[in-house]
Amino acid sequence: MARPVTLFTGQWADLPFEEVARLAGEWGYDGLEIACWGDHLDPWAAAEDDAYLRGRRDILEKHGLGVYAISNHLTGQAVCDDPIDERHRAILPARVWGDGEPEGVRARAAEAMKVTARAAARLGVDTVVGFTGSKIWKTVAMFPPVPATMVEDGYRDFADRWNPILDVFDAEGVRFAHEVHPSEIAYDYWTTAAALDAVDHREAFGLNWDPSHMIWQDIDPVGFLWDFRDRIYHVDCKDTRRQTGNGRNGRLGSHLAWADPRRGWDFVSVGHGDVPWEAAFRTLNAIGYAGPISIEWEDAGMDRLAGAPDALAYVRRHAFDPPAAAFDAAFSGPP
């Protein structure tokens, strides 16, 4: 396969980076999408310390792995979020959280994302995957009534905070692939269009296509690929299974834990849910996507040591390459 299949390490950050690399190499992954938390990648060290950077590369090489993207979802979340609260303290590096004063947290998160762009460039990758946060996600229920000016201010706030970050991405030759996801400035089809408009469609800002978040919102993930085909900078493979239809299980999850059968939907291992993978992979071929296909393994009902190799086998089987020539080319020559 021309496109590398990688493992996103975010859900494995409780394990040492060396151990995750060993497992991924043994399972047959081509590389890693490295998360900037746990001990997997410290963006400050990667941006400044040659020995640290060499050590990360040595681990990858030892286990026969490449790196095609890094991810800093957790810090990116704090750039625009309002409110900033104890949830952020639990996920942010201490140097970003600081004293917890909200505007200071946002400013330090923005600086950390600039550092992440520099770290990516030094590591030799051109894509950082992540979240943006959102000042207006809290208004999604539209009650109390939300004036249009508040929504407009949210997109303006996003542009004001992210354009200086994207300037650094441009300077480093790196792109930001925003994961369209609930709680972000772009969480569905039309908010994605609005977010791109807000930053004037600048090239540094594109999308990480993760269909799992679209399925439970009734968004067509394949149509999304086609319509935003010039902005698909990275692909994460994660699946979702709907569990609605019994008159009890709602789309919003009811504050129930993952794998609770009362939920209206749940993340499941790739190939075990409702994502139309074959149509998606065919469309990726049609739009000329040649980047990595990264498995973001999440399934609260399956052991990950069984699920990660199972997901890899599924993707290897279904993410076929486009043909070298049209099948009917054989009819165009002399008999």
Looking at residue 304, which CATH number applies to its domain?
3.20.20.150
Contact 257, 230 (CB under 8 A): no
Mean pLDDT of 283-307: 97
Assigned token pair, 84? 């900033």
Q: Select from 99, 93, 98 the least CA-distant residue to 113.
A: 93
Q: How far apart are alpha carbons 99 and 94 in whole angstroms?
A: 9
Q: How far apart are alpha carbons 259 and 323 in whole angstroms?
A: 39
Name every residue whose Cβ is closer than 8 Å to that of residue 78 and which is 6 or more positions away in sequence: 84, 88, 92, 96, 105, 106, 109, 133
Give 247-281 pLDDT, tens digit per residue: 999 999 999 999 999 999 999 999 999 999 999 99
Residue 240 lies in a domain: yes
Residue 334 lies in a domain: no
Look at residue 225 in the predicted model and tell me its pLDDT: 98
Give the helix ranges, DSSP H, for 49-85.
Answer: 50-62, 73-80
Beta-bridged to residue 52, according to DSSP, are: none
Residue 194 lies in a domain: yes
Residue 25 lies in a domain: yes
Look at residue 335 in the predicted model and tell me its pLDDT: 65
Look at residue 130 in the predicted model and tell me its pLDDT: 98
The answer to whether residue 311 scores a pLDDT higher than 60 is yes
Q: What three-state secondary structure class fits 71?
A: strand
The answer to whether residue 291 scores a pLDDT higher than 90 is yes
Mean pLDDT of 159-186: 98
Look at residue 321 in the predicted model and tell me its pLDDT: 82
The answer to whether residue 329 scores a pLDDT higher than 70 is no
The answer to whether residue 18 scores a pLDDT higher than 60 is yes
Name every residue whose Cβ is closer than 8 Å to that of residue 318 and which is 6 or more positions away in sequence: 271, 277, 278, 281
Contact 121, 53 (CB under 8 A): no
Q: What domain count does the chain have?
A: 1
Q: How far apart are alpha carbons 132 and 138 in whole angstroms?
A: 14
Look at residue 328 in the predicted model and tell me its pLDDT: 61
Residue 335 lies in a domain: no
What's the whole-number average pLDDT of the chain?
96
Look at residue 292 in the predicted model and tell me its pLDDT: 97
Q: Is the peptide bond before 83 cis (omega within 30 degrees of 0)?
A: yes
More confident residue, 1 or 210: 210
Mean pLDDT of 314-329: 81
Give 46-93 pLDDT, tens digit per residue: 999 999 999 999 999 999 999 999 999 999 999 999 999 999 999 999
Residue 107 lies in a domain: yes
The answer to whether residue 99 scores a pLDDT higher than 70 is yes
The answer to whether residue 1 scores a pLDDT higher than 60 is no
Burial of 256 (0-12, 13-18, 19+ CB in 10 A): middle
320 pLDDT band (50/70/90 cuts)? confident
**Letter for the amino acid at 182?**
P
Q: Where are the beta strands (DSSP E) in 99-201?
A: 127-130, 175-179
Mean pLDDT of 99-128: 98
Mean pLDDT of 215-235: 98
Look at residue 334 in the predicted model and tell me its pLDDT: 65
The answer to whether residue 330 scores a pLDDT higher than 70 is no
Domain hosting residue 271, numbered range: 5-329
The answer to whether residue 109 scores a pLDDT higher than 60 is yes
> Percent of the chain scored above 90 by pLDDT?
94
